[in-house]
Structure 1
């Protein structure tokens, strides 16, 4: 298998973005919801804070623990991106490229936000 540096960069950015999409983004809450229990607690300031804990048993526990671990989900997201890239490159290329561009854009936004807020 021969992967160029540019393909490695694109695959890395796509994997990064897919991982963040699955673990953190609001648009994928419906994917995560079945695997977590929502716990509400009042903090010292009287505000309600919401915590998400993985379900306690079975397959839902496994996926809840997986989705609560950025590093764990990253491995599986990377495997998925690489598998699509290698097995169906013609159809996966546009999706992978979109994820990679979105990943790079989110990094740029984070850097810009950091320097504007300082």
Structure 2
């Protein structure tokens, strides 16, 4: 098997598999490092995670991933790895990855809210384990912004419907 074949799914693919492997390794290394440090410091895993906390973590993960991957204000984070392709709804923009290798893989990651949500959920779960009160507060703030966004869109939809 050639080296080029290992890097691609097929002859037409331009997926940066090596870059994805680097990012996956970084994610796994980060979790392993957190686990080692937490264990050394005596951090104990929660006995259970109440459904309310799962919902709060979910809403916060949703909003944080949208902020990172689509918000105009966070464009500076994505700019080295993506290019602007258009405007989205509200404060959102559409970006696509650019470059090759790790740069392209990072572009794929930071321009996709589904992809970034895994990383952000990992960070929030680590925070929930080490500092549950602070993490709940952060998640409550992001959850409030999520609710606010939904209300903004509902208000806009109501205004449009009333005009028609």
Name the SS for the 1:91 alignment partner: helix
Name the SS for the 2:99 alignment partner: coil
Which residue matches 2:50?
Answer: 4
Task: Detail structure 1 runs of 4+ shifted over 4 Å in the superposition.
Answer: none
RMSD (Å), alpha carbons: 2.3
5+ residue gaps, structure 2, are: 1-46, 87-92
Relative contact order (C-alpha < 8 Å, sep 6+): which is higher?
1
Equivalent residue pairs, number: 109
Which residue matches 1:98?
Answer: 141
Going from structure 1 to structure 2, the CA distance change for 1:90 and 1:66 (only over 3 Å counts) comes to same
> Aligned ranges for residues 1-118 of structure 1 at < 5 Å?
1-38=47-84, 52-118=95-161
Provide the C-alpha distance between the structure 2 equivalents of 1:85 and 1:51, rounded to a whole number of angstroms.
31
Provide the C-alpha distance between the structure 2 equivalents of 1:8 and 1:24, rounded to a whole number of angstroms.
24
What TM-score, normalized by structure 1, do the two folds share? Answer: 0.77
Q: Deviations over 1:24-81 (max 9, x none)?
A: 11111111111114579xxxxxxxxx97431221321111011222211122222222
Shift of 1:90: 3.6
Provide the C-alpha distance between the structure 1 equivalents of 2:136 and 2:48, rounded to a whole number of angstroms.
16
Going from structure 1 to structure 2, the CA distance change for 1:24 and 1:53 (only over 3 Å counts) comes to closer
Shift of 1:18: 0.2
Larger Rg, first or second structure (1 or 2): 2
Provide the C-alpha distance between the structure 1 equivalents of 2:56 and 2:48, rounded to a whole number of angstroms.
14
What TM-score, normalized by structure 2, do the two folds share? Answer: 0.58
5+ residue gaps, structure 1, are: 41-49
Paired residues of 2:82 and 2:111 also in contact (CA < 8 A)? no
